[in-house]
């Protein structure tokens, strides 16, 4: 059976990168005394994607993958580090007073640090007890997991953070898609995961646990975040190299409205040129996709006598939509026209040279260059 990458849907390598047999079934699966007889180990198999190179486990995720269980939040050193980090991040992106979403906020430990940094933090947390504790601390917390559904209301956030949670998600792109629906244009993010490169370098075999589905290098983290709709500003190791910290920005939509204005401008130029030479007729040189699309979108068909093209397999046929006959360029000598519009893309200069050398020198010539009409 071919295994599919959980991120890009590419094929995983047939053979595991390595296997760990008999490991604990979860980092948080701590049995009580009464559960000791039922406690069982699991086998861990890690494969690499042949397309995106992301290393990942196969099989079912741990039962609690939606919940954030954050033991390191009790460390004074981590608290100090995070406060300095988040204060600088909020300041550098001018997020004072801005709504910042933490995806997986646990009990609200880092929401408090974001608030101290000047932001207006909001959290999502699937664990009911953790979500309730964060709410009791005065934070707005949605008791949910973004992999199950988008945020229930139309809240829009200027920024988002996620700390050592992304690697737990079995369907990460769905989570990030739901997240994007609640982000303002050009919103920024801070996302962190365990550093697989450090694990490889130090041969830390015991860092592999069933809780973590993905193992990111700086390259695979960057690549994955880019395929999920974000521009990656930076990726760097932090916290004694145990963590990869990525700063991202929501990818902006394409500015396609400018195409419409450019097309209108070209259409106006073409119609003016064609109308000026209508008495003696106008031909088009070029039956490539540029010319065919321009003829159709600019509604030039009724004003053009014919199209010429040097490719024999196009001659004797007609242009789609506008239904103009396509001839050998020799027709310009037999059925003369007063003007030719060259639409031959990168070959246009060569075509103009041919027209000037071999055809009526009095014939007006214009060329479509990068969406504009130029007289030659």
CATH of the domain at 294: 3.40.50.720
Q: Is residue 91 part of a domain?
A: yes
Q: Is residue 30 part of a domain?
A: no
Q: Per residue of the chain (376 residues), what is the pLDDT tens digit?
A: 679 999 999 999 999 998 999 999 998 888 899 999 998 999 999 999 999 999 999 989 999 999 999 876 668 999 999 999 999 999 999 999 999 999 999 999 999 999 999 999 999 999 999 999 999 999 999 999 999 999 988 899 999 999 999 999 999 999 999 999 999 999 999 999 999 999 999 999 889 999 999 999 999 999 999 999 999 999 999 999 999 999 999 999 887 777 888 899 999 999 999 999 999 999 999 999 999 999 999 999 899 999 999 999 999 999 999 999 999 999 999 999 999 999 999 999 999 999 999 999 999 999 999 989 999 9
Identify how many contiguous H helices and E strands the chain contains and give both numbers: 10, 17
How many domains would you assign to the chain? Answer: 2
- Boundary of a domain, candidates 201, 235, 250: 250
The rounded mean pLDDT for the chain is 95
Regarding whether 80 and 225 lie in a shared domain, the answer is yes
Handedness of CA 336, 341, 345, 351 (dihedral sign): positive
For residue 103, give its domain range. Answer: 63-250
Q: 64: left (phi > 0), else alpha (psi -120 to 50), else beta?
A: alpha
Q: Is residue 121 part of a domain?
A: yes
* Cβ contacts of 47 within 8 Å, gap of 6 or more: 3, 12, 13, 15, 16, 17, 55, 56, 57, 58
Regarding whether 167 and 83 lie in a shared domain, the answer is yes
Distance CA 106, CA 108 (A): 5
Q: Is residue 351 part of a domain?
A: yes
Regarding whether 261 and 230 lie in a shared domain, the answer is no
Look at the block and give the residue holding tokens 């695979």: 220
Residue 174 has a CB neighbour count (10 Å cut-off) of 16
pTM across the whole model: 0.83
Coil, helix or strand at residue 228: coil
């Amino acid at each position: 059976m071919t295994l599919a990458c959980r991120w890009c849907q590419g094929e995983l390598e047939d053979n595991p990168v390595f296997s760990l047999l008999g490991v604990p079934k979860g980092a948080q699966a701590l049995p009580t005394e009464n559960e000791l007889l039922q406690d069982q180990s699991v086998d861990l198999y890690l494969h690499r994607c042949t397309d995106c190179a992301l290393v990942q486990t196969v099989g079912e995720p741990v039962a609690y993958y939606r919940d954030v269980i954050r033991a390191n939040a009790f460390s004074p050193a981590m608290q100090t580090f995070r406060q300095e980090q988040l204060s600088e991040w909020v300041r550098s992106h001018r997020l004072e007073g801005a709504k910042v979403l933490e995806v997986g906020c646990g009990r609200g430990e880092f929401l408090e640090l974001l608030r101290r940094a000047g932001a207006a933090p909001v959290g999502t947390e699937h664990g009911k007890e953790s979500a309730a504790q964060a709410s009791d601390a005065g934070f707005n917390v949605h008791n949910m997991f973004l992999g199950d559904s988008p945020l229930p209301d139309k809240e829009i956030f200027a920024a988002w953070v996620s700390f050592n949670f992304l690697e737990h998600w079995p369907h990460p792109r769905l989570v990030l898609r739901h997240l994007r629906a609640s982000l303002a244009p050009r919103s920024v993010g801070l996302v962190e995961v365990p550093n697989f490169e450090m694990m490889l370098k130090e041969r830390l075999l015991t860092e592999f646990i069933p809780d973590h589905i993905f193992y990111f290098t700086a390259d695979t983290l960057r690549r994955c975040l880019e395929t999920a709709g974000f521009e990656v500003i930076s990726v760097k190791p932090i916290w004694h190299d145990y963590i990869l910290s990525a700063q991202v920005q929501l990818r902006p939509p394409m500015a396609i409205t400018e195409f419409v204005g450019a097309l209108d401008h070209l259409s106006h130029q073409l119609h003016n040129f064609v109308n000026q030479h209508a008495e003696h007729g106008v031909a088009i040189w070029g039956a490539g996709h540029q010319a065919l699309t321009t003829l159709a979108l600019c509604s030039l068909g009724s004003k053009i006598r014919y199209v010429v093209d040097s490719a024999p397999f196009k001659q004797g046929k007609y242009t789609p939509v506008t239904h103009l006959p396509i001839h050998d360029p020799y027709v310009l000598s037999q059925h003369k026209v007063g003007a030719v519009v060259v639409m031959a893309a990168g070959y246009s200069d060569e075509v103009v040279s041919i027209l000037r050398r071999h055809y009526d020198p009095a014939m007006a010539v214009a060329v479509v260059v990068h969406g504009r009409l130029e007289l030659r």
